[in-house]
Structure 1
């Protein structure tokens, strides 16, 4: 979450007038994240999240995202729900950008997730994958292997300014992944961005999943690889295998991984590390002027990628079977 676009009082009031939400009491920008402009909206009927979609989110994909949240909620997964205006539409336009209002979920996210939080995440991810089985919508993952070389081309000339030798390191990794990426694993709806700041807790209980704007149709186990990288490394860069075990055990209580998925996990973890390293590198080198957002350090994911290059099996990641 972030703020790239400022909204005037007049623009906001005109937009909200098409909803049955009452008067606007306050609207405050949310500074975290890097993708869209997000605001905590307080109206007479309660608190909501107002999002203006920018950067990598294409308007044609928004019905998929909004429909998915409604589908998952109907099957018992707690996630934000789109608020429809008086015309029954969940998507509108504000300040020249696509915009939507979704319900606000109570809870906090943990900057230092513990083992029990990783277990709860695993269960929630398994529940998401099962709930998405009968979702009719599909969306290609626009930030997977085929797109990574093109993404890197936009910043390759400046990569060594971030870390000496980074350009050659990424080129070598891209070549490996293009040769080793699996082609025939179970697919379905995945979140694809389930970082700690997208998972809310009330006490030790997981209270909801948010920010579905990278959701797509891809390998289910790739979602686990993304979570492994985001949740199971310590601040010093070391991998915590106990957290990895908790994540996998929680997930397999809902959905058992197939042998081919287990075998592919180390390669997918490398790919997931490269994917976020690349997008962070692009954001690091192309920060928009005046944006209320702090780019995330790409070298955090370069370090994780270096770890995964030494991993030989899923057992070394905590999948002990």
Structure 2
């Protein structure tokens, strides 16, 4: 996604010589995202996406390649790795493992509508159903233990208000285990920039490199926190519609409904910590993207003020997400007591 490893035209031409996809006619780095290096590449025979993996090694990647191949065979709209003249889709480019994919049509939406939220809820349920019996060997490496470890690493750089909030939320999350909730393959990063639409219809799910086996409800919460919040303000109607669409294919179990408010909080905490860590310890790159940690702080605070569980009846869902009486849209000056980014100045 962000370009950490630059690639020149000669390297691309040598890379494409192992495929039968024509001659390279153009390429450009993709600026979105923060994990991998991605390029759009055009040849005389089509349009492709080239990914260079910055963290995952060649030994790490086969399960992800196999998962995307499985999803494609299950009619889930996602990129499938191209094997080229050899069956193994992985190559080495500029000392990094790399793979080539067909470029899916469409573009991400910056401001999702209710209709977009319904579609993403439905397709997330399709993803969970398509992998119901799929054995995926990757466990979530960014669960609560990871959150606690990151907090221990960066806590000294945060202001007292942030430290107190994170410490209290970690305490509550560890006291309320989600281990007995339904589990399966989750995307774990189904943000707006990882979904494509054409003429208002979902055309592709991208970036499965955070996929893992974990609690299905966590996947829904991660998705809802991004798709159903407008500039950091939770939108109850969007959450209602995302959940309603999801449940047309996979109804939630009673224990999932009870745990839903805590899972929304766990998902917000995980991405707040991730973005704080990325801001405090940025990776070098030619094109990089910093994402605002404050958004997830705001989302976490709103969820902490909400104590209701999902009602068993869909018609009652909106009341489950009605803000507390003292909730108001906050100005920038209200956001934090200790500064705009709430990290200690150097």
Fold similarity call, TM over 0.5:
yes
Q: Residue in 2 aligned with 1:118?
A: 117
2:237 partner SS? helix
SS at match of 2:189: coil
How far apart, in 1, do the equivalents of 2:101 and 2:217 lie?
28
Residues of 2 paired with 1:290 and 1:79: CA distance?
Answer: 27
Q: What displacement does 1:60 show?
A: 3.2
SS of alignment partner, residue 201 of structure 1: strand
Q: Does 1:176 align with 2:162?
A: no
Deviation at 1:289, TM superposition (A): 3.7
Counterparts in 2 of 1:152-171, with a 5 A limit?
A: 152-160=151-159, 165-171=161-167
Match of 2:253 in 1: 258
How has the CA–CA distance of structure 1 residues 230 and 58 changed in structure 2, closer, same or farther, with 3 Å as cutoff? farther
Could you say if the C-alpha distance between residues 59 and 260 of structure 1 is closer, same or farther in structure 2, counting changes exceeding 3 Å? farther
Equivalent in the alignment of 1:142: 141
Note the residue ranges of structure 1 that are not aligned, 5 or more in a row. none
Tell me, yes or no, if the aligned pair for 2:23 and 2:43 is still in contact at 8 Å.
yes
* TM-superposed deviation, 1:115: 0.4
Change in CA separation of 1:58 and 1:272 when aligned onto 2, cut-off 3 Å: farther
**CA deviation vs aligned residue, 1:214-241 (integer Å, no higher than 9, x gap):** 0110111111100110111111x32111
Matches within 5 A, 1:1-321: 1-55=1-55, 57-160=56-159, 165-235=161-231, 237-315=232-310, 320=316
Q: Which moved more, 1:187-196 or 1:167-176?
A: 167-176
Whole-angstrom distance in 2 between the partners of 1:290 and 1:49: 19
Alpha-carbon distance, 1:290 to partner:
4.2
TM-score between both structures, scaled by the size of structure 2:
0.87
**What TM-score do you get using the length of structure 1 for normalisation?**
0.94
Structure with greater Cα Rg: 2
State how far apart, in whole Å, the 1-side matches of 2:8 and 2:94 are.
9
Cα RMSD of the aligned pairs, angstroms, is 1.6
Distance in 2 between the 1:98 and 1:204 partners?
34
* Preserved CA contact (<8 Å) 1:107 1:207: yes
Q: Deviations over 1:127-181 (max 9, x none)?
A: 0000011323321011111211112222222122xxx521222122112111113
C-alpha contact (below 8 Å) 1:80/1:103 kept by paired residues? yes
Gaps of 5+ in 2: 318-346
